[in-house]
Structure 1
Amino acid sequence: MHDTLKGKRILITQASEFMGPTLCEVMAEQGATVIASHHPLVHPDAAQQVVAEAGAIDVLVANLSIHAPSTHATEVSEQEWQEVFAALVDPLPRLIRAVVPSMEHRGGGRILLIGSAAALRGMKRTSTYSAARGAQLAYVQAVGVELAPQNIQFNAIAQNFVDNPTYFPAEVQANPRFQERLAREVPLGRLVGAREDALFAAYLCSDAAACFVGQVFPVCGGWVTR
C-alpha cells in the first residue's frame, strides 16, 4: 500500500456508479479514508445532506453519471434535456456551496470532477449529454480560478474509452462493432484501464498536485488529441 493520500478524508459521490467503485478501491489503497456516498444527487437538498453526513473532508470527488441518450438533436425533448442536466450539472453548484466553507475553514482542499471527453469532441446523437458534460467543464474552469486563492484546487478529468460498467459494460466491449470502433478511433488501441484512470485521479487529489487550477485533463487514449 502507498501513502500518497495518507490522512486525507475523501468523499466520493455516486460511489456505486461510473468510476466510483475503482476510485474507492484505489484511493483507500493510497491511504485515504474514503467516504463512499451512494445517494442520488438530483434532489436540490441531496448535496447538502451528503456533505453533512460525510463530516470534515479534505477532498471531494464529484463522480456524476447518467446513461447517455442517443437522440437526434431535432428530437430531443424538454424532459430529456432537463433530466440530463439535473443529473450532471445541477448537483455541482450545490456541492460547491456545501463543501467549500468547511474547506476554507480547514485551510484548503481538493475538488475533482470525473467528467467526459464527450465535451471536447463532437459525436453524432449526443447533443444533450455532450452539452451537459461541456457545462461541467466550463463550471470547473470558472470556479477553479475563483477558489484558488483559498487554497482549494478544483480540476476535472474528461474521460472517454475508460473501462467502467456504466458506459462500457462487458456486453458492449464484447461487441465486434465496438472493437472495430476502438481500433479505428482510439490511438491507444484499447480502453484505458479503470485503475489507470483512478490512479491519475488519486494523484490529482494529492498534495503533489497543488499547482493545478481549474484544469481539464483528457484521459481517453488519445481520442481527442489524434
Structure 2
Amino acid sequence: MTAFDLRGKRILVTQSDTFMGPALCDVFTELGAKVIADARALADPALPETMVRAAGHIDVLVANLAIPAPTTPAAEVDDDEWRHAFSHMVDPLPRLMRAALPQMMQRKSGKILLMGSASALRGMKRTSTYSAARGAQIAYIQSVGVEAASHNVQVNAIAQNFVENPTYFPAEVQANPAFQERLRREVPLGRLVGQREDALFAAYLCSDAANCFVGQVFPVCGGWVAR
C-alpha cells in the first residue's frame, strides 16, 4: 500500500503517448484513478477547451507537454524553431487553465500538475529555445499556483531531467556508452530516474496528501542540481 491513493479521481493527461504520458497513465490507473488519456498535441488553439469539455468533470489535469528538444546554436535559432517550441509547450497552458480552472474553482477542489523540465533551472549549451519554453512554463505555473491557492486548487510543476522516458531518453540513447559515461559524470545517482519513480511522485502531487503545495516547482533529476 502507498500512503495515498487516487481512487475515484478523474485525471486528464495530455499528450498521453509521449514524454511521461504512458507511465503516468499506468500508475494513475493502478492507484485507482479514472484516467482520461488524450494523445493529441495542443498546438491548435481550440483543442484545449474542446478536450476539457469532452472530459467533463476532472479532478486533476496533468499538462504533459513535450517536443523533441532542438539543439541549434543560439546564433542560428530561427523564428520557426522558436515559435514551434512555444506553440506546443507554452501557449497551451493558459488555454488549459481557462478550460479547467473554472470548474475546479467553483468546486473549491482540484489539482493541475505540469510535467516540465529542469533545463529551465540551469544553463546548458545548444538548448536556448527548449530551455526558454520550459522556463516560461515554470514561471507561469508559479504565478497561477499562487493565484489559485485561495480557491483550494493546487497548481504545481515537476521540473525533471535525466528521467527515463521514450521522448528524451529512448532505449537507444540509454544503450550508448557515451551517454552512460555522461550519467556517471553528471548525475550523482549514477543512473536515470525510473519512469515509475517519477510517476509515483506525480501521483503523490495529484493526491489529497499534497494539498499543502501551491505554485511549487519540484526538481526530479537523479541528484542533478541547478547551479
**TM bucket, shorter chain:** over 0.9
* Partner SS state of residue 65, structure 1: coil
Mapped to 1, the partners of 2:222 and 2:6 lie a distance apart of: 26
Structure-2 residue corresponding to 1:135:
136
Supply the AA of the counterpart residue of 2:84. Answer: E
* Partner SS state of residue 217, structure 1: strand
Mapped to 2, the partners of 1:175 and 1:135 lie a distance apart of: 31
Structure-2 residue corresponding to 1:162:
163
Contact 1:84 1:132 in 2 (8 A): yes
Shift of residue 107, structure 1, vs aligned partner = 2.1
Mapped to 1, the partners of 2:135 and 2:218 lie a distance apart of: 13
How many aligned residue pairs are there? 226
Mapped to 2, the partners of 1:118 and 1:104 lie a distance apart of: 31
Shift of residue 185, structure 1, vs aligned partner = 0.3
1:9 equivalent in alignment to 2:14: no
Shift of residue 169, structure 1, vs aligned partner = 0.5
Mapped to 2, the partners of 1:199 and 1:130 lie a distance apart of: 25
Shift of residue 203, structure 1, vs aligned partner = 0.1
* Partner SS state of residue 111, structure 1: strand
Mapped to 1, the partners of 2:106 and 2:25 lie a distance apart of: 25
Q: Deviations over 1:164-200 (max 9, x none)?
A: 0000011111111111111100000000000000000
Mapped to 1, the partners of 2:45 and 2:226 lie a distance apart of: 37
Structure-1 residue corresponding to 2:50:
49
Shift of residue 105, structure 1, vs aligned partner = 2.1
Contact 1:39 1:50 in 2 (8 A): no
Shift of residue 224, structure 1, vs aligned partner = 1.4
* Partner SS state of residue 156, structure 1: strand
Supply the AA of the counterpart residue of 1:77. Answer: D
Mapped to 2, the partners of 1:39 and 1:66 lie a distance apart of: 12
* Partner SS state of residue 215, structure 2: coil
Mapped to 1, the partners of 2:192 and 2:67 lie a distance apart of: 20
Mapped to 1, the partners of 2:100 and 2:87 lie a distance apart of: 19
Q: Where do 4+ consecutive residues of structure 1 move more than 3 Å? A: none
Contact 1:70 1:126 in 2 (8 A): yes
Mapped to 2, the partners of 1:78 and 1:104 lie a distance apart of: 37
1:33 equivalent in alignment to 2:31: no
1:24 equivalent in alignment to 2:29: no
Mapped to 1, the partners of 2:41 and 2:199 lie a distance apart of: 21
Structure-1 residue corresponding to 2:97:
96
Structure-1 residue corresponding to 2:222:
221
* Partner SS state of residue 161, structure 1: coil
Q: Deviations over 1:13-46 (max 9, x none)?
A: 0000000000000001111110001122001001
Supply the AA of the counterpart residue of 1:177. Answer: A
Shift of residue 69, structure 1, vs aligned partner = 0.3
Mapped to 1, the partners of 2:83 and 2:209 lie a distance apart of: 38
Shift of residue 225, structure 1, vs aligned partner = 5.2
Contact 2:121 2:226 in 1 (8 A): no
Please report the TM-score for the alignment, with normalisation by the length of structure 2: 0.97
Mapped to 1, the partners of 2:40 and 2:179 lie a distance apart of: 32
Mapped to 2, the partners of 1:195 and 1:44 lie a distance apart of: 31
* Partner SS state of residue 162, structure 2: coil
Q: How does 1:56-75 map to 2 (within 5 A)?
A: 56-75=57-76
Structure-1 residue corresponding to 2:125:
124
Q: How does 1:172-191 map to 2 (within 5 A)?
A: 172-191=173-192
Mapped to 1, the partners of 2:154 and 2:143 lie a distance apart of: 12
